[in-house]
Structure 1
Amino acid sequence: MLVLPAELTHAQATACCGMLAQALRSDPGPQAVADASALRSFDSSALAVLLECRREALARGKTFAVVHLHPRLRALATLYGVAELLPEPASA
């Protein structure tokens, strides 16, 4: 499980991407799941981080999903036309 921090803005995006990429590389499972339940303060950089995680997961042959995506972030993803790239897990 890839756990997003409570705050994810432009200031934290690079460090967060690195942390999540390392977690993704160390997880041998077939699916990468990002848990956004802790995320409270964010900007569009949070979408960029999630999309980068998705890209990294797909490059490693994994599926990608997001659980507990904040409704405002889901609305932002819809506005930008990328909501379908951040699905909930099939078993959720």
Structure 2
Amino acid sequence: MAEANPMLSLDALTFETADAALEQGCAAIRAGETVFDLGGVRAADSSGVALLLAWQRRARDAGQKLTFINVPGNIDALTQLYGLDGLLARS
């Protein structure tokens, strides 16, 4: 398993950062990353939840299992609100 990736240089997973974040995460997956450390993320909205699900789907399509660590509390709250908390792989 790859070392935990300090999820790139992302400090926000929001609507404004979604396009760049999606590509950055997909590039990390293509490079073989399997653990995304979200400890540096300070802002997130519902687009962040969509990004995590999209990255997870891309990893699965590539035959990999993606795990998230240090997920921000507001993403946890949103996934619970949307009934998606069981869909994100955690370490």
Equivalent pairs counted in the alignment come to: 86
Instruction: Extract structure 1 runs of 4+ deviating beyond 6 A.
Output: none
RMSD: 1.5
Return 5+ residue gaps in structure 2 as ranges: none
How far apart are 1:2 and its partner, in Å?
Answer: 6.2
Secondary structure at the counterpart of residue 3 of structure 1? coil
Secondary structure at the counterpart of residue 38 of structure 1? coil
Correspondence for 1:80? 82
* Distance in 2 between residues matched to 1:15 and 1:33, nearest whole Å: 19
- Note the 1:62-81 alignment, pairs <5 A: 62-81=64-83
State the TM-score, normalized to the length of structure 2. Answer: 0.85
Return 5+ residue gaps in structure 1 as ranges: none
Correspondence for 1:14? 19
- Richer in strand (by share): 1
* Residue identity (%): 30
Q: Deviations over 1:40-63 (max 9, x none)?
A: 111111111111100001001111
